[in-house]
Structure 1
Amino acid sequence: MDLRGFLKALARRWPTAVVCLVIGVGAACSATGLSTPVYEARTQLFVATRNSEDMVQLTQGQSFSQARVQSYASIVTTSQVTQPVVRALRLRTTPEELASRISAEAPLNTVLINISVRDTVPERAAAIANTVARRFTYVVEQLETPPSPTPPRQTDDRRPPPPVSPVSLGITEKAATPSAPVSPRPLLNLAVGVLGGLLVGAGLVILRETLDTTLKTSRALAEFSGLPGLGSIPYDKQAPKRPLVTTAGQHSPRAEAFRKLRTNLQFAQVDDRPRIIMVTSSVPGEGKTNTAANLALSLAEAGTSTCLVDCDLRRPCVAKTFGLVQDAGLTTVLIGQARVGDVIQQADDRLAVLASGPKPPNPTELLASTRMSELLHELASTYEVVITDTAPLLPVADTLGLAPLAQGTLLVVRASRTNRDQVRASVEALERVGSRVLGTVFSMAPAPKGADYDAYRGYGELPAPRVSAHLDESGAPAATTGEK
């Protein structure tokens, strides 16, 4: 994934990054609030040599001190130092635990030793540091003092002087009571929390993008499926309440998108234009019924006599979408209880709707029957275009039985919902039964930014009157028109 792809993925999944950032900041604040403050006291010692009357001895003593000072720093945390300190200050801890809170360093090319002590009580940290410095001075001088030689027998009472350590340690800076804790560090914790949250969020975005096999753009759909993309229908949150574009505004983005779909469909198959077009999808909820209904309306708006047939015999929605009668329709005709002219309903001057009728127990057999083929050809001889809304391909076998009867198929794919495996399975299933797939329709796609459809008002096609069907006194459907 390149930088551009990552930025697009981050823009799509920004809630994930924000949640991770909030969690990181919250964890940092919690760690800061729950941590016990720790104070650090520092003291410094200077290592010198004795008996340096002239410059030569002074230089030699300086080199000697620098050579030994690194070793002295390692003695600070030994039990010879910590155990007496614990007893002297009556600390409720062990020498080993106290050693873990003491650190010593000797800067290179110096004769200085810096001792640091950490404790939760600032006064106690200073007291421990000063006591450690004094005890450390005593231990080093004792270690550097040579052993007393056995004196030879003397004829007089004079005794040699006791041996003296060649090294002398002096405290150059006593530990003072610290005024502020060194831990926790709120700003550092906050920075770590922010950085950690961003890194985790970016990682999750990349992981989800890698594992997500849904199709995000119509171009990606066309490249993956190898089918022409005939239309991209933008998402409209008002679509469930107003599924038909004629009720949502003649120049809305959705209305223009369906006009573009109609135009692309008309020009895509100029030499062999299909008259029976099946609209289907891989799984439920992809907008196939909405696409079929509005495509039929758009064709009728352009002056093409169109018949919309509800072939989804399991979950029919066409009649409800147009506000028509559901009780009589396709199944009524297929079982011979009525003729097409008796149950077909007019939704517009050029748009007829054949509802599904009562739900049958054997929808697959009905749709694949010879009578269904005869009915479709009968409708195609009466209308210029017949649009069939069918059941989803993958859950049931109804559509695969109907597909060979149609002259072309439109596959509806929902943006960021239908995955690649579902699209592949649907295309392969249609190809196995010999269906002619005209192309894909990318539904519920993100609306293009900067598109101002209002700028084209007055240049498009004339708005069609809104039509609704009602029953007359005899029970037969009658069309009524009206502006709204």
Structure 2
Amino acid sequence: MELQQYLKVFRDYWRSILATLFVVVMAAAGYTLMQAPTYTATATVFVTVESGDSAGELSQGASYAERQVQSFVQVVETAAVLDPVIDEFSLDTTSRSLAGQISASSPNATSLIDITANGGNATETADLANAVAASLVVTVDDLAPTSSNGQGLVSASVIDPATVPNTPSAPKPTTNIALGIILGLLIGLGQALLRSVLDTRVRNSDDIESVTDKPILATVGHISKNQDASEKRAHSEAYRRLRTNISFMGLGGERSTSFVISSSVPGEGKTQTSVSLARVLAQAGETVLLIDADLRRPQVANRMQLDSELGLTDVLTRRGTLADLAIPASTNLWVLPAGTIPPNPSELLGSEAMAKLLNLVEREFDYVIIDTPPVIPVTDAVILASQTGGIVLVTRSGITRRAQFGESIEILDAGNATVLGVVLNDVNLRSKSDRYGYYSEYTTEESPEALSARPSSQPKHQDIGV
């Protein structure tokens, strides 16, 4: 993976990474607090060998001493050294158990033996190290070979007694917390990388761009239950941005036209996008007709709180006219509900009557927005997209799979439908709060006075008898 990919993973999963880091650090802190303090004290014993006066004899004696030191290091943890210590302190333990508290070592090429004791009491630990060192001195005298005059050839003495430690050697809070931070980051990043590999959902613009080169027309934030003013501004600005991008695509103007808004699968927010875009276009002074062509699960009338059982299907089957059934929803905005649910939605939407209706309304309205069923389950969106100026595909962050999104693009391309672009919906904008917070200072809601001052062109659909 490249650096940019790692940064993307961190942006997508930084919350879970920090949560993992917090848990591991807290576990390290808890482990540290639960550990009983351990103190360490060391006493040093020096071993000497009796030798002659010549240089050769001194060298041989030094080499012999080093070999003896290695042997005596092994002797430290034996009963010969530890039993006298147990008797001295009247310890209720065995030499084998006591050996677990004692360790001995010798620096290379020296005649020194470091005897280290560990325990839960600082004073007792120092006393134990000194007692073992003293016992080793006696044991060396007992084990050392003697000369012809009965004098020992090897002797030992304590040259550096153990002192009472001021601080415990364990636990080490700083070390444990540092290790917890490192381990927490490694685990957090590891699980984030794993999730990024296993999670194929579309979450941001990078995921969109990895599937298609179609432009991202707008990024719409998540609508929380208690949204603050900045969230409302960012949400409104997203739809105004969509309105601006649509206007630059050659739709509207001298050639009034229609386009479809759909999604890959249900639940991605296509109807909300259709309604919101229709409203902001109407607020900008454009005449807009919003058609609910989702003849399977129509939602536009409910979203706009309109009461009508008749609509598109009734116009297509000549049981009503557009002039009678198109409902004025607000200034410059009319809504044509789905109408009576037919048994054959695809055939009806692909009929000559639908083509005639589209041809007529495109001449009467600046924009005609058509809300359709999702692309993958049924062919309705493809049928209408191929007859209009194109389709805007709504994709919900964290819900739509990249494979589903890619399949939708392939279906639309195969049906000769023009994909105008993508709306990335329900994005968590808090991860971009600095950018949006800064930008929102330059965006304001349009006041009713400003809207009423805009020129309002009236469509001529009263004359259309379809």
Q: 1:386 to 1:136 in 2, by over 3 A?
A: same
Q: 1:363 to 1:89 in 2, by over 3 A?
A: farther
- Residue 171 of structure 2 corresponds to 184
- Residue 241 of structure 2 corresponds to 257
Q: Structure 1 residue 99 and structure 2 residue 62: aligned? A: no
Query: Aligned partners of 2:298, 2:411: CA distance in 1, in Å?
Result: 22
Question: Is the CA contact 2:49–2:65 (under 8 Å) kept in the aligned structure 1?
Answer: yes
Aligned to 1:74, the other structure's residue is in SS state helix
Question: Is the CA contact 2:233–2:440 (under 8 Å) kept in the aligned structure 1?
Answer: no
Per-residue Cα deviation, 1:60-92 (whole angstroms, up to 9, x for no partner): 534432343233223322454345545665544
Q: Structure 1 residue 24 and structure 2 residue 10: aligned? A: no
Q: Structure 1 residue 283 and structure 2 residue 265: aligned? A: yes
- Superposition map of 1:9-158 within 5 A: 9-50=9-50, 60-82=60-82, 85-86=85-86, 89-145=89-145
- Residue 310 of structure 1 corresponds to 292
> For structure 1, which segment, 28-37 or 444-453, has the greater mean C-alpha deviation from structure 2 after superposition?
444-453
Query: Aligned partners of 1:265, 1:323: CA distance in 2, in Å?
Result: 31
Question: Is the CA contact 2:24–2:183 (under 8 Å) kept in the aligned structure 1?
Answer: yes
Per-residue Cα deviation, 1:380-428 (whole angstroms, up to 9, x for no partner): 4543542111122235555355554445222122345433212111112
Greater helix content? 2
Unaligned runs of 5+ in 2: 455-466
Specify which of 200, 222, 225 is matched with residue 212 of structure 2. Answer: 225
Query: Aligned partners of 1:362, 1:386: CA distance in 2, in Å?
Result: 23
- Residue 342 of structure 1 corresponds to 324
Per-residue Cα deviation, 1:141-175 (whole angstroms, up to 9, x for no partner): 444326x9xxxxxxxxxxx75x4431001122333
Which segments of structure 1 move beyond 6 Å, counting only runs of 4 or more? 53-56, 238-242, 248-251, 456-459
Aligned to 1:266, the other structure's residue is in SS state coil
- Residue 194 of structure 2 corresponds to 207
Following TM superposition, by how much is the alpha carbon of 1:354 offset from its aligned partner in structure 2, in angstroms? 0.4
Percent sequence identity over aligned pairs: 33
> For structure 1, which segment, 397-406 or 36-45, has the greater mean C-alpha deviation from structure 2 after superposition?
397-406
Query: Aligned partners of 1:176, 1:218: CA distance in 2, in Å?
Result: 65
- Residue 481 of structure 1 corresponds to none
Following TM superposition, by how much is the alpha carbon of 1:16 offset from its aligned partner in structure 2, in angstroms? 1.7
Unaligned runs of 5+ in 1: 149-159, 243-247, 468-484
Query: Aligned partners of 1:92, 1:313: CA distance in 2, in Å?
Result: 88
- Residue 480 of structure 1 corresponds to none
Which structure: larger Rg? 1
- Matched to 2:70, the amino acid is Q
Q: 1:239 to 1:383 in 2, by over 3 A?
A: farther
Q: 1:466 to 1:3 in 2, by over 3 A?
A: farther
Query: Aligned partners of 2:60, 2:335: CA distance in 1, in Å?
Result: 111
Aligned to 1:276, the other structure's residue is in SS state strand
- Residue 237 of structure 1 corresponds to 223
Q: 1:270 to 1:90 in 2, by over 3 A?
A: farther
- Matched to 1:126, the amino acid is A
Query: Aligned partners of 1:458, 1:442: CA distance in 2, in Å?
Result: 22
RMSD: 4.0
Aligned to 1:40, the other structure's residue is in SS state strand
- Matched to 2:191, the amino acid is L
Question: Is the CA contact 1:320–1:326 (under 8 Å) kept in the aligned structure 2?
Answer: no
- Residue 464 of structure 2 corresponds to none
- Residue 310 of structure 2 corresponds to 328
- Matched to 1:392, the amino acid is P
Q: 1:3 to 1:250 in 2, by over 3 A?
A: closer
Question: Is the CA contact 2:220–2:235 (under 8 Å) kept in the aligned structure 1?
Answer: no
Following TM superposition, by how much is the alpha carbon of 1:263 offset from its aligned partner in structure 2, in angstroms? 1.9
- Residue 157 of structure 1 corresponds to none
- Matched to 1:258, the amino acid is L
- Matched to 1:30, the amino acid is G
- Residue 430 of structure 1 corresponds to 412
Aligned to 2:42, the other structure's residue is in SS state strand
